[in-house]
Every structure is written in C-alpha cells, then in structure tokens.
Amino acid sequence: MVSVPIQVTVWSEDLGERDAVRLVYPDGFHQTIAAGLRAELGSGASVRTATLPEPEHGLTSEVLSATDVLTWWSHSANDGVADDVAERVRQCVLDGMGLVVLHSAHLSKPFLRLMGTRCTLRWRNDEREVVWTVAPAHPIAAGVPSHFVIPRQEMYGEFFDIPPPDELVFLSSFSGGEVFRSGCCWTRGKGRVFYFGPGHETYPVYRQPEVRRILANAVRWAHVPVPSPIDTSSSPRLPRGWFEATGNL
Amino acid sequence: MVSVPIQVTVWSEDLGERDAVRLVYPDGFHQTIAAGLRAELGSGASVRTATLPEPEHGLTSEVLSATDVLTWWSHSANDGVADDVAERVRQCVLDGMGLVVLHSAHLSKPFLRLMGTRCTLRWRNDEREVVWTVAPAHPIAAGVPSHFVIPRQEMYGEFFDIPPPDELVFLSSFSGGEVFRSGCCWTRGKGRVFYFGPGHETYPVYRQPEVRRILANAVRWAHVPVPSPIDTSSSPRLPRGWFEATGNL
Amino acid sequence: MVSVPIQVTVWSEDLGERDAVRLVYPDGFHQTIAAGLRAELGSGASVRTATLPEPEHGLTSEVLSATDVLTWWSHSANDGVADDVAERVRQCVLDGMGLVVLHSAHLSKPFLRLMGTRCTLRWRNDEREVVWTVAPAHPIAAGVPSHFVIPRQEMYGEFFDIPPPDELVFLSSFSGGEVFRSGCCWTRGKGRVFYFGPGHETYPVYRQPEVRRILANAVRWAHVPVPSPIDTSSSPRLPRGWFEATGNL
Amino acid sequence: MVSVPIQVTVWSEDLGERDAVRLVYPDGFHQTIAAGLRAELGSGASVRTATLPEPEHGLTSEVLSATDVLTWWSHSANDGVADDVAERVRQCVLDGMGLVVLHSAHLSKPFLRLMGTRCTLRWRNDEREVVWTVAPAHPIAAGVPSHFVIPRQEMYGEFFDIPPPDELVFLSSFSGGEVFRSGCCWTRGKGRVFYFGPGHETYPVYRQPEVRRILANAVRWAHVPVPSPIDTSSSPRLPRGWFEATGNL
C-alpha cells in the first residue's frame, strides 16, 4: 500500500507581530508550526502555509480543495477574517477536511460556526500549565507522556463554552488553580475538528517536543483518507425502493 | 418545595396551511401541540403559542425572556424566519432556554446555527415508522413503551448530518428499510436541545399518546430550573488569585 | 401531581473509624451524608442508612428493592464486601436503581463491575482542591457555583481509568498541579451512576454546603421515577411480526 | 516510516459446527474471517487463528502478549470459555490490546466483563438487514457505502443493553421493523473495543465485501501502535512535587 502524503495547510494571521512575538517566532507562527509538522511527519505530509494578508487570506477554493487538513492559529485578527472565507472553511470541513484549531482561535469564525456556541473562556497571562493525558488509547496521545509541563503559558480556564467534546484527550491545570479541557475532538459532517489550548504568542510553546508531537498526531487523526460517498449538500427526496435500486441487493 | 410552572412557548409557522393539513390540524400545529402539553403537564406548565405571521414572529425579547422552553415546528417557512429572530433564539438557548425542535425544523435557522452542521437527511412520504427506545433510563423515555408504531408518517432517514448527539434516546425504522436517529439530545451553552423526528403535517402524529408523552417529557428535560451563575457573554481577563477572592476560601 | 419521596439508602463501611476520622464524622459517614440529604431534600426523600457490619451489609434484597437511589462510601473495606452483595447491587442498578459512588469507592466492587475498567488513579494526601463546573446546564450542577474550593482534601488525579463518562459535570485541580474528572455520569442498563471525587475521611468535606448540594442533586438525577417496561433479563427470541401483535398498530 | 504489520489473532469456538454451518463456513469462522483480513490488509497485518478446543482456548499469555488486535466470534460456547482466560483477555484489552467482537459474542465473557451491562437484545432468524453508515468520517466507515443490504441474516434488535457507545458508526434495520446499533466503539483502559452485529453462522455474511472491509477497518482502528506510558495496574501514592521530578520541568 503506497501511502500518499497528507496535504496540510498551516494558517496564521501573520500580522507583522509585535516585537515580543518576533523574538519567539521570528518568521511567524505558521513557519514554526509548519517546520514542526515537517519534522514530525516527514514524507507523510506535504505542508504549505497561508496567511491573512494574502488574497482571500490564502484560502481560495483551489487551496482548500487541495487541503486534507488545515491548521489555524489566530488571535488579534479573529474578526478580520472575511465572512465568506470563514464560511468556505466551514463547508470544506463538513465535506471532509480536517481542522486543527490552536489556542486563541477558539474565537475564530470557522470554529464558532462549527461549534454553534460562544466558545468563551477565562484567561490570564503567565502561568505554568500542566497538560494531562486522559485518553491514553487515543491516536492524538500516541507517544505523549502521561503529563508534561509548559513552564510559561497563558491560562485558559473553564467554563469553556464548547459543545461537550466527542472525545476528551487532554486536560490542563494552571498554577493559579484553574482547569481547562485543552485537547478536544469533534466530528462535524464528514470532517474532524481538534482544538488544542496551549500556544501563546510570547512563549516558545510550539517548539516544545510534546506539543509538536501532539500537533502531528492531530493532523494524522483529522485526516479522512477515504472520503465517504455520502453527499450532504441537500436533503434528497427518494422514491420508494430506492435502496434496492442502488445495486446492493 | 413549591413547584413553579414551566413557562412554555409553542411556535409554529401557521401559514394558513393547505387543506390536507387543516383536516388534521384545523387550528394549526401550535394549537394541537399546546393542547397536548397542557393535558400532559397540567399545572406543571404554563403554555402559550406564537407564530410566524406575528410581529417578530411572536418571539420578542420579552416573550423569550419569559420562556423556559420553546418548542418549534416549521417546514415551508424555514427560510422565512428573520435572521435576527433566529439569532435571538440561539442566544437564549445558550443562556439557558430549552429548545424542542420538531420534524421539518431540522432545517430551521435556530437549529442549524446551534448545530453547526447541514442537518440534511433523506426523505420520502408515506411510510410506517416504528420508534424504538434505546435509552430506557432517560427522562424523555419515562412512560414510553419499548417501541411504538406511527402508522403513516413521512420517512426521515440517515445519513442525518447532525453532530453526534450527547444522548440518543430514540431510533426509528421505516417500512422502506431506512433508519433514523429520531430522538436526540444536545447541550449547548447553558441550554438543552432535543430533536424529535416524527410529526408530518398530513398525519395526526401529534395526537398520538406516545408522542404527546414524549413532547411533555422533552419539555421537562429541557427545562433548567436553577440557572447557573456562569456568564458566557465574554471571555473575562482575570487577575491572579481571582478565585480566592470570590469568597470560597 | 403528588410527588412521592425518593427512597434513598446511604451506605458506608462504618468500621469504627480511626480517631482522626471520628473527630470529623463522630457518627460515621453514613450519618453525616444522610443528614445532609435530609436537610437538602426535605420531604422529597426518605433516607435510611446501611453499613458493612450488618447482615448482608444491610443490603438485603428487601432493602434494595425498596431503594430508588443508593449512595456508597467505602475505603478500607472495599475488598471486604461480599461478592454476592456486590453483584446484587449491580443487578439492581441495571434494573433501574440509581447509584452515587463517593470518593474511595472508585475501587468498590459494585462500581468496578459496572465500569469494566480498573478505576485506578493517582493519589496523595492533604491538598487544596478546586472543583469547577463544566456542564452548567446539568441538573447535578443546579445551584452550584462556577467553582468552589475544598481547603484540605486528598488529591485524586489523572489518569483515572474509567470509561469515558457519558456526561462530565465537574473537573478538579489540586495545589500539586494535578487534575481530575471529579464529577462523572454514566447510564448502565436502566440505571444511572454518578461518581463524585471529593470526600476524604479526615476532612469535613461532606459538611461543606456545595458538596451537600451536589449530593442532593445527584440523588435526584440518579432517580428514575417511571421504570421503563423494557426487560433486559434475557435475550428473547421473537416470532416474526411480534411488534404488530403488541397493540401498537 | 517503516510500517510494522498488525499482529491479529482471529478466534472462534470452532465446535465442529453443524452441517448447515459447514456448508457456508467449511473450515470454520476463524478461517473465513482470517482469510478476509489477509486479503484486505495484505502486508499490513500478520493474521493467525485460535480456537476453543486448543489448550487455554489458544489464548495463552504468550499469544495474547503478541497480539495487537483480537477478533472474537462465539455463540453456543459463550459459557464454555474458562473464566481465567476471559479475565486474561479483559486485562489485555485494558493494557492496550484491541478487541473486535462479532455477532453472538455480545454474550461472550470478555465483552460482558468489559461492558458491565447485560448486553441482552431481541432476536429472530432469517431477516433482510440493511446496514447504514451514521459516522461517515469514522475510520471504520472508510470505503463503506452509505448503506448496504445483507439479504439473509439473523435479526438482532433493540433494546441492546450496552453502555452508550463512545462512537456509533453503523445502524441496522430489519425487514420485521426492528432497529439495532450494529457498529459500536468503546474505549476501555488503554484498549479499544468494536462490536459488529452482522454475522450469523448459516449465511455467508463474512464473505460479503462490505463486511470484509468493515472488519479490516475495525482491526486498524482498534490497533494502538504506540502504547501509552500510563500504568493502570495500581493506584500509586505520590509524594508532593512528584511531577516536577519526572523530568518535564
């Protein structure tokens, strides 16, 4: 069985980040995240990047139709994403594209529209986060220790206003006493969505080996290699006996 | 403990339905559904109705803020509901209002926005439906037999493009061979949502005792009598040590 | 609608606890828990107690068949419960009795047999626990704040080897950095099971108002007032057309 | 990345089946199922068989410790499996072995012990079954049509007394009007369990291409290639600060 590389598009807003950010991510998040995925996935993935300032934010129909999994980092510019691009991303997920939503993208338009809830949370800067694996058999936890520490990180805490996850993979605690469902899986339509909490812009979270491993696992998990023949673009009216006529009898 | 009646608003489009419908539901769906709830819930509920032709579709902020549970039947007019009213309903659900979504309202705007998926399905007219209880401990199944037959009904079949339900209470089969997840529960924000499949407009489904029982149970289940103090209207930035300061230590 | 009191049996091992325990729970856990339930539920419940030293541990067929909800606190004597009594409890849950499992009873025989997993966890004495509500619409969270602090408590931490809960209501963090799924719901057969983590024997956890409220809510939630007519005691062989013959057509 | 073959053990009771069975499965179920897996998985799996009459039913500690995924078909001999072998299988699942449970093995000892419920259902011989995909993004549905027909099959119908599945992949309808949750996923400990309903002994169900595809997908899904370092064999008492000491800071 010849394995075809997963087509990954790594998106970030890339707003010519503030100096404090450039110290940590000199080429922008997308480059750091893409480099991590390339290192982890090797020939198993073909990774490109796209950013907000590009035409259609770099997420044209052509790009998305050639994307198996989209990773999305955004923060300041959540509201700056055009509605039609956000809706295009949502439609692609419903048709089978994987979506990996990172950190502050909990308030990004594609995620909000897919979840249907407010996705608000509590937050505070500069905490120690401990990430705990609560689903040891889950593919996204493969090779991830029972727990690991992110020395400095933004606290994201409950109540996180998301739909109850289909699968809860990671929980986090913070030195201030808060907890957070930091690794959550959902299926929406024919697509898979993973949210991962860690990743503040002023700390080198995406360079940490455990986080790189998790993002690579998430890309593999979110990839649906054999598309289902089910078409959900409309509610078809069927004649009586239609399924006998589809060749299965 | 004095029990306060549940405030229920029963909504339907009430479009001066076609003759075939008026034979079955001479006063409109909302009246038949409301009468069933009044008979089942007695003094446990205070039931009013609202319809599409009323100003703001009868769903003003005043009405919704005095509504514990909203039931929603719609079909032809799914697209005729104003966007701002649909969004108002969604916000109320996220703030704790129960929502019971009936039959063709799987394509209603409030349900679509809460689910995030397409909510499409397969359909055909005039089938025998058998409804099976698959969650016998669930409050919505209380007093409902292991299975019951709806002699004539519209077939709604899989694939039903919904998020995996938090709880699956009923499954249906149809004489044509299809299956359907016909009783599904979700939590969204601080509100509870129940979808129930049966209820076509040309058959007396809502007069059937089992269905009336299910709708009454659903209203009770969807009611959140003690609102949670959690406020999800924004993502609050918190100072270090905020939770020690909230009086719990 | 006349409300019938919930029949509650509060069980604990009551081993003539050590002095440190008697300082906190002079009459044993069962008495403190029962008193809390009586205060919270009033005429809504009829509460009795049972303990390990009684014949059949106080859990005869007669007692269990008159019990709507059983609460279970055990620790040192988890292995001292007779297998046939543990199995009797499991069978009653499968037939519709509610079960509220407290603290160290995660290793009790009835819970282990209902879960099918090892139910192991990490632990350490003497930590501050913060309990967070992550399901604000859930009946067990009614009247419970967004979070509350238990000043001194035994740490129970992940990985907690339980089946993924059907509903996750509370999460806890500990001053040592651990997290725990501390409020978990499952349905098993026709019965409902709730596990609640807090409750060490040397701290007055069960006197804390938030905990008393949670236990009372849990009893109400676990109570299935209208038993389902489904009989799961065997796999019946059915003749063709049996459901047409059951009076629903 | 060199892919290591999945080690699969295919188990069936192989009781020198009745003549009617031998006409369909002349070499026993295990051989037919094993042949299907070999054809579907090719070099991706190494498939051996084991049967009830062998010493320790062919499921010694040596065999199980070299097994990534165990498939289990049983019927008449569910009670004939030794308790210690059943418990050994359960322990291996909790430690990460995949388990694919087929048809009448819903009453097998390993499955019953992992589920904790009675796993009873309704049944009748000789029906047409239609299998519907309700989780099109799930790996077990990869390459499976929206629905397919099994012309003759034993009816297995609701209420199926299982824990609510973590993921529901297939639903079935039967010509008699029943429905069944026929493809169900659970995680237990560090292992994954899949139950698949179709497969009666007097019909060539396991020769049908869609069924062969599903079983191969199930083996891949149930395989956890990178074992989690979490040890659930006991509840360890931890010193304060233990996680700082584990090298993550």
3-state SS record for D225-249: CCCCCCCCCCCCECCCCCCHHHCCC
Mutate to test the interface with C, among B169, B213, B226 (most CBs of C within 10 A): B226
Complex ipTM > 0.85 = yes
B190, pLDDT greater than 70: yes
pLDDT in tens, C99-109: 999 999 999 99
Q: Does position C121 have pLDDT exceeding 90, yes or no?
A: yes
Which residues in chain B have Cβ-Cβ distances shorter than 8 Å to D168?
164, 168
* Domain contains A16: yes
pLDDT in the model for residue A19 = 65
CATH of the domain at C19: 3.40.50.880
Task: Check residue C93 and give its pLDDT.
Answer: 98
The Cα of D176 is separated from the nearest Cα of chain C by a number of Å equal to 6
Contacts of C145 in chain B (CB under 8 A): 229, 246, 248
> Is residue C206 in some structural domain?
yes
Would you say residue B151 has pLDDT above 60?
A: yes
Res. D249 pLDDT band, cuts 50 70 90: very low
pLDDT surpassing 50 at residue B1: no
Residue D144 domain-assigned? no
- How much of chain C exceeds pLDDT 90, in percent? 82
Q: Is the pLDDT of residue A1 over 50?
A: no
- Does the pLDDT value for residue D76 go beyond 90? no
More confident call, D119 vs B245: D119
DSSP codes of every residue in chain C: -PPPPEEEEEEE------HHHHHH-TT-HHHHHHHHHHHHHGGGEEEEEEETTSGGGG--HHHHHT-SEEEEE-STTGGGS-HHHHHHHHHHHHTT-EEEEEGGGGGSHHHHHHH-S----EEEEEEEEEEEES-TTSGGGTT--SEEEEEEEEEEESPP--PPPSEEEEEEEETTS-EEEEEEEEEETTEEEEEE----TTS-GGGSHHHHHHHHHHHHHH--SS--S---SS--B--TTTTGGGTT-
Whether A36 is covered by a domain: the verdict is yes
- CB contacts of C122 in chain D (<8 Å) are 235-236, 238
- The predicted pLDDT at position D173 comes to 96
A238 within some domain:
no
**Mean pLDDT of the residues in chain B:** 93
Residues of chain A contacting residue D143, judged by C-beta atoms under 8 Å apart: 226
Pair C29, C71: CB distance under 8 Å:
no
- Decide if D163 and C188 are in contact by the 8 Å CB cutoff: yes
Q: Which of B29-33, B161-165, C230-234 has the lowest mean pLDDT?
A: B29-33
How many domains in chain B? 1
Paired residues of D183 in beta bridges? D170, D196
Question: Is the residue at C234 inside a domain?
Answer: no
pLDDT above 50 for A249: no
Contact between residue B70 and residue B94 where contact means Cβ atoms under 8 Å apart: no
Q: Out of B123, B166, B241, whose CB is closest to A164?
A: B166
Has residue A248 got a pLDDT over 60? no
Contact of C174 with chain A, judged by CB distance below 8 Å, is answered with yes
Percent of chain D at pLDDT exceeding 90? 82
Task: Give the residue-averaged pLDDT of C65-76.
Answer: 96
Taking contacts as CB-CB distances below 8 angstroms, the residues of chain D near C117 are: 94, 114, 188-189
Model confidence band, residue C24 (pLDDT cutoffs 50, 70, 90): confident
Phi, psi of B169 (to 5 degrees): -105, -40
For residue B57, tell me if it sits in a domain. Answer: yes
CB-based burial, A151-188: b 16+ in 10 Å, e otherwise? eebbbbbbbbbbbbbbbbbbbbbbbbbbbbbbbbbbbb
Who wins on pLDDT, D231 or B20?
D231
- Put simply, the answer to whether C177 touches D120 (Cβ < 8 Å) is no
D76 touches chain A (CB under 8 A): no
What's the pLDDT tens digit per position in B5-21?
Answer: 999 999 999 876 566 67
Give a yes or no: residue C240 inside a domain: no
Higher local confidence (pLDDT), C145 or C25: C145
- The 10s digit of each residue's pLDDT in A52-105 is 999 999 999 999 999 999 999 999 889 999 999 999 999 999 999 999 999 999
**Percent with pLDDT over 70 in chain C:** 95
Which residue of C lies nearest to D161 if distances are taken between CA atoms? C189
Query: What is the arithmetic mean of pLDDT over D49-62?
Result: 97
Which range of residues forms the domain containing residue D111? 6-117+182-227
Contact yes or no for D100/D222 (Cβ under 8 A): yes
Does this model's pTM top 0.95? My answer is: yes
pLDDT tens per residue, range A116-151: 999 999 999 888 999 999 999 999 999 999 999 999
Write out pLDDT tens, residues A178-218.
999 999 999 999 999 999 999 988 889 999 999 999 999 99
Identity at B160, one-letter amino acid code: F
